[in-house]
Structure 1
Amino acid sequence: MSNIPAQLAEIREDFHAVPDAEKLTLLLEFSDELPEVPEQYADVEFEQVIECQSPVFITTEVVDDRVKMFAKAPPEAPTTRGFASILVQGLSGLTTQEVLDIPADFPFDLGITKQVSPLRLRGMVGMLGRVKRQVQEHLSHTTAAAS
């Protein structure tokens, strides 16, 4: 799969490197690694990803053409938290163009289609789509402000 930045490709390779029986365990490890949202984002409105079966909320920030993603997902939704964590870790720090170039179906390339239902994977696709849309909106506002 082309257009995958190194840090996201490394996560994908981690999933491909473990036996099928351990893929869900790896996803749960990512769930435990979802960073807490910094206090300065307490008043920021997060967007709910309605494609997810569990409540997950995301927001992005772009500073100097670098994307930061933040996500909130409840501990009782470990699969959703794992997907959010993969994206937070895999997208944060990338340029806006690197994020926009990631294929929409990237979540299906993690090699976990036997362990996780297509419906849940579509939730992650929804998260990625929201991030890309938020980044594009930022770029549109920046371009409009510069005009």
Structure 2
Amino acid sequence: MAEERLAQLPPRLQNVVKALGSVPKALKTEMLLEFARKMPPLPEGMKGKLEQVHECTTPFFVHAEIKDRRVHLYFDAPQEAPTVRAFAGMLAEGLEGESPEAVLSVPEDFYTLARLEEIITPLRLRGLQAVLMRIKRQVREAQG
């Protein structure tokens, strides 16, 4: 069952999920901090295009757009918010440059395959789910 669900994810997101799901809790925290450091910087002029994800307890903003049939993701979150920055880093690594169809096919609870509930509270996980739902809605809107 898990393999079947994993196969629904784009290859790079599969790699992220497999890596996180295969390590002990202590290493999982370190990996999330690494993803937080990998959150891409926000390009100039992008701030006004971002949508706030109100379900996140920390101010978190996202924007997804399609250029040349590829999804591009933009995030903004405070430096002192490693959990949401880790979510952004994970999603950027796993979904940046994917086709709209690949992004739209990601199950909202994909994080369960990474066993993130071992170290992240349900409230924060709902925030991650809300971020993915915003990305998917923005991708659908961009498709017209």
User: TM above 0.5, one fold?
Assistant: yes
Please report how far the alpha carbon of residue 13 of structure 1 lies from its aligned counterpart in structure 2 after TM superposition.
1.1
Query: Alignment partner of 1:113: what SS?
Result: helix
Task: Name the counterpart of 1:87.
Answer: 91
Normalising to structure 1: TM-score of the pair? 0.90
**1:134 and 2:138 aligned:** yes
Partner Cα distance (2:87, 2:123) in 1: 13
Q: Structure 1 regions of 5+ residues with no counterpart?
A: 141-147
C-alpha contact 1:104 1:125 (8 A) present in aligned 2: yes
Q: Structure 2 regions of 5+ residues with no counterpart?
A: none
Q: Which has the larger radius of gyration?
A: 1
Partner Cα distance (1:106, 1:50) in 2: 20
**5 Å matches for 1:1-147?**
1=5, 2-42=7-47, 44-140=48-144
Partner Cα distance (1:107, 1:17) in 2: 13
CA RMSD of superposed structures (Å): 1.1
Normalising to structure 2: TM-score of the pair? 0.92
Please report how far the alpha carbon of residue 17 of structure 1 lies from its aligned counterpart in structure 2 after TM superposition.
2.5
Runs of 4+ in 1 over 3 A off after TM superposition: none
Query: Alignment partner of 1:75: what SS?
Result: coil
Partner Cα distance (1:16, 1:139) in 2: 32
Q: What percent identity do the matched residue pairs reach?
A: 40
Partner Cα distance (2:131, 2:86) in 1: 12
Partner Cα distance (1:72, 1:80) in 2: 9
